[in-house]
Structure 1
Amino acid sequence: MNSRRVFLQNVAMASMAIPFTNFKLYEEKTLRVAICGLGSYGTRVAEAIQSCSRVKLTGVISGTPSKIKKWQEKYNIPDKNCYSYENLDKIKDNPDIDAVYVITPNALHHVQVIRVAKAGKHAICEKPMAVNAKEGQEMVDACKQANVKLLVGYRMHFEPNTLEVIRMRNKGDFGKVLFFQGLCGFKIGDPSQWRLNKQLAGGGSLMDIGIYAINGARYMTGEDPIWVTAQESKTDHVKFKEGVDETIQFQFSFPSGATASCLSTYAMNNLDRFFLNGEKGFAEMQPSTNYGPIKGRTNKGELDKPHTIHQAVQMDEMAAIIFDNKQAVVPVNGEEAVKDLKIIDAIYEAVRTGNKVSLKL
């Protein structure tokens, strides 16, 4: 009887232990996010969050009451989690919100991110993070002082084919990197939109689409540039007023001796291509930065990583960065964004002066 009892106890204990082999040692925390700015890209992010495993949309911040009402109905957001731009500081007292994703016109990022930080919430900011490096650094400093994280919406830093090219470069499949080309552009429409307003956008095509080539040159080569030259072309002085660039070509040199040639434009379609050339091979991506699917090939064959919803992957990864201190393969922190802003400042200076401008990032 005793042996039978012991046998049954052992079987019971074993059967109880089986399900726990699939359990994690801790429960993953869910990042509860409020979106600040309910425009087209804010809408895209909100939709992507619905397929996230670690992120939940719990609040909204907008200057348009009718938008707030529609979002409340669609995403079941209670009144207590809805804010205007005037009272967003009150999120400080809201335990339902861990982070705020700022998706407003570029010139508003600076003040809004600082307000979010002072309210004690983590800040996620769309790129470009600010209209110049000075403002960007002030945002980084404010978040550090408040002991909150500042992350930037570099969705391509999590895109599978992009990461595969970076992996291959790091492995040495392309040999010594020699050259990068980044072509980014489209024909912009409505001339009254905020992207063509210097006070709201901080510039023109460079701030909106050119930043992809700037950031891409850095993560594709694995280096930061040491100088830049740049030239501007403008054919429509009505749509592209003073301080709003239509087309800018810019060139980099890197510490290794590699070079880059890039184009940013609001005047041409079908420009979304990255090309990386090395002594032993190459990588070509087209499209390289749009919402996908990203396509490309290397000297070893086609890139075939699965298509993902960029914003969903980005948000889940950011939850891991915030809660688990996960390190992204390519950083998405505020310091990374300040480097891009320093380069943007230098490109505009090179256009203005016609000189080669040195960079210290």
Structure 2
Amino acid sequence: MMLEQQQNPNETSCDPSRRQFINQASRGLMAMGVAGGLLGVVDNAEARPGEAASSLWPQGTGPTDVQLPEIHAKTEPKGGGVPNPQPVDQRVGYAVVGLGHLTLEEILPALSESKKSKLVALVSGSPDKMQKIARQYGIKPDNCYSYETYDKLKDNKEVEVIYIVLPNSMHMEYTVRGAKAGKHILCEKPMANSAKECEKMIEACEKAGKKLMIAYRIQYEPMNRKVQELVRSKAYGKTKMIEAMNCQNQGDPNQWRQKKALAGGGALPDVGLYCLNTVRFLLGEEPSEVTAQLYSTPGDPRFREVEENVTFTLRFPSGVLANCATGYGSYNAKRYRVYGETGWIQMDPAFSYHGLKLERANADPEGNESKAAVSIGEKNQFALEMDHFSECVKANKQPYTPGEEGLQDQRIMEAIYQSAREGGKPVKLPSVAKQDAFRGSPPVASK
């Protein structure tokens, strides 16, 4: 969703591999009859000296996961373990469309951490910048496309998925064109600028027989998934209320986010969407009614076309009330708290790319309160969501956050705007009885 900006190079090391070093050293040690034992200790049964890896495992065959023996006492903190990515030739190839802040700062580095996904192509309207990024990430010149040559992706067999990271108003066009090119589509949120556009995107992918997933990274992030588990298991009794806030202070009034034709709205579709979607994700049910208010500071050039602040309340059939607030002109805040009968669960920050924190508090039958941080190792949220989509592509499964999930959010946001226009009047929403009605196959827990 970001406009294009330059990023620092991400270069790889050219040092000899550890295997090469050990194999070279072993040739001298063999004369002393100790090479085999030394290699066994150092690398836990590496290949025999001088034997090429390809003679043991021809390309595309044999096991790839590596397990290392535990070297620390059980009392020591556990590390992240061996990543064990899939072999490069088995990973799903991605073309990323748009080289702005989000792409360069988060998505491309995440593809380098992905286990099931890989970057194979770029699409940009800035040839000079694209050439630099292509050199940084080893992308062939033939795999660099302009917006005009975008449709030629249909002839590139390396590309299986197109990841669209463009201003919101462009999501529909590039999703439809990408589906016609025969590619699966991962699209940034919000899905589009209207429910009608969302419907056209879903229809285009269905007609082409291709999958469509919306990039709701929070639904794949481990801490937020832990909160979902606690909420749905009623760890602190029934959920009664939820508070959620996502605010930031926008700068340049001329950026695309301040243009209604490009963004579709202001704080609500950009950052308020996190509050809306996360509450729905945690509860697994759909709101039956919304009320809302909008306010923009008079004379502020940033808010000539789009709203600054939005507060909205979601009423759910179970009785849960979710009070949400979002803004474009106040200091950064990205948090939520779930209130249960016997305790609360809090994420602060909850929606950031890094550094998320999870806390909980509850009371025993005597009323003694205890608070504690819940420690869960940080994972790259973008890598997790892309690897889930790659798994769905390979296994022919419905993504956890398909186009229908994005369409539902868009319909609710349109009801929020309607309520605000009507002075905060409640707006009824269609009844949805099924839990997780708009979601597909749950993501597999990352090891």
Q: Which of structures 1 and 2 has the bigger CA Rg?
A: 2
Instruction: Find the counterpart in structure 2 of residue 7 from structure 1.
Output: none
Instruction: Find the counterpart in structure 1 of residue 98 from structure 2.
Output: 37
Superposition TM-score, scaled by structure 2 size:
0.73
Residue 186 in structure 1 maps to residue 248 in structure 2: yes
Describe the SS at the equivalent of 1:269.
strand
Which fold has the larger relative contact order, with Cα–Cα distance below 8 Å and residues 6 or more apart in sequence?
Answer: 1
Match of 2:181 among 102, 119, 123: 119
Instruction: Find the counterpart in structure 1 of residue 128 from structure 2.
Output: 66
Match of 2:308 among 235, 246, 250: 246
Instruction: Find the counterpart in structure 2 of residue 323 from structure 1.
Output: 394
* Residue-by-residue CA offset, 1:103-149 (whole Å, 9 max, x unaligned): 00000001110100011100000000101111111101110111100
The code of the aligned residue for 1:68 comes to M
CA distance in 2, matches of 1:351, 1:98: 42
CA distance in 1, matches of 2:156, 2:405: 29
Residues 278 and 105 of structure 1, relative CA distance in 2, 3 Å threshold:
same
Q: Contact 1:234–1:240 at 8 Å: present in 2 too?
A: no
CA distance in 2, matches of 1:241, 1:290: 24
Describe the SS at the equivalent of 2:154.
helix
CA distance in 2, matches of 1:104, 1:303: 35
CA distance in 1, matches of 2:305, 2:203: 28
CA distance in 1, matches of 2:417, 2:348: 27
Residue 265 in structure 1 maps to residue 336 in structure 2: no
Residues 205 and 161 of structure 1, relative CA distance in 2, 3 Å threshold:
same
* Residue-by-residue CA offset, 1:244-270 (whole Å, 9 max, x unaligned): 010010011001111111101011113
CA distance in 2, matches of 1:235, 1:248: 12
Residue 337 in structure 1 maps to residue 406 in structure 2: yes
Q: Structure 1 stretches of 5 or more lacking a match?
A: 1-15
Cα deviation, residue 31, structure 1: 1.0
Cα deviation, residue 99, structure 1: 0.7
CA distance in 2, matches of 1:134, 1:186: 29
Q: Contact 1:221–1:276 at 8 Å: present in 2 too?
A: no
Match of 1:352 among 396, 407, 421: 421
The code of the aligned residue for 1:31 comes to V
Q: Counterparts in 2 of 1:294-305, with a 5 A limit?
A: 294-299=356-361, 301-305=372-376
Q: Counterparts in 2 of 1:74-113, with a 5 A limit?
A: 74-113=136-175
Cα deviation, residue 21, structure 1: 11
CA distance in 2, matches of 1:320, 1:213: 27
Describe the SS at the equivalent of 2:330.
coil
Describe the SS at the equivalent of 1:248.
strand
Cα deviation, residue 22, structure 1: 6.6
CA distance in 2, matches of 1:272, 1:21: 39
Cα deviation, residue 359, structure 1: 1.3
The code of the aligned residue for 2:384 comes to V
Residue 177 in structure 1 maps to residue 247 in structure 2: no
* Residue-by-residue CA offset, 1:35-58 (whole Å, 9 max, x unaligned): 000101111201110111111100
Match of 1:150 among 203, 209, 212: 212
CA distance in 2, matches of 1:306, 1:326: 27
Instruction: Find the counterpart in structure 2 of residue 313 from structure 1.
Output: 384
Residue 232 in structure 1 maps to residue 309 in structure 2: no
* Residue-by-residue CA offset, 1:166-185 (whole Å, 9 max, x unaligned): 11122220221111111000
Question: Between the two proteins, what is the percent identity of the paired residues?
Answer: 36
The code of the aligned residue for 1:311 comes to F
The code of the aligned residue for 1:165 comes to V
Residues 270 and 20 of structure 1, relative CA distance in 2, 3 Å threshold:
closer
Q: Contact 2:219–2:278 at 8 Å: present in 1 too?
A: no
CA distance in 1, matches of 2:249, 2:157: 43
Q: Structure 2 stretches of 5 or more lacking a match?
A: 1-55, 57-61, 67-83, 363-371, 433-447
The code of the aligned residue for 1:353 comes to E
* Residue-by-residue CA offset, 1:201-241 (whole Å, 9 max, x unaligned): 11111111000001011112222111111001111433244
CA distance in 2, matches of 1:352, 1:115: 35
CA distance in 2, matches of 1:320, 1:168: 26
Q: Contact 1:132–1:344 at 8 Å: present in 2 too?
A: no
Instruction: Find the counterpart in structure 2 of residue 136 from structure 1.
Output: 198
Q: Of Structure 1 and Structure 2, which has the larger fraction of its residues in helix?
A: 1
The code of the aligned residue for 1:280 comes to T
Cα deviation, residue 332, structure 1: 1.3
* Residue-by-residue CA offset, 1:279-298 (whole Å, 9 max, x unaligned): 23221110011012210212
CA distance in 2, matches of 1:243, 1:264: 17
CA distance in 1, matches of 2:64, 2:163: 36
Residues 163 and 132 of structure 1, relative CA distance in 2, 3 Å threshold:
same
Q: Contact 2:151–2:181 at 8 Å: present in 1 too?
A: yes
Describe the SS at the equivalent of 2:334.
strand
Superposition TM-score, scaled by structure 1 size:
0.90
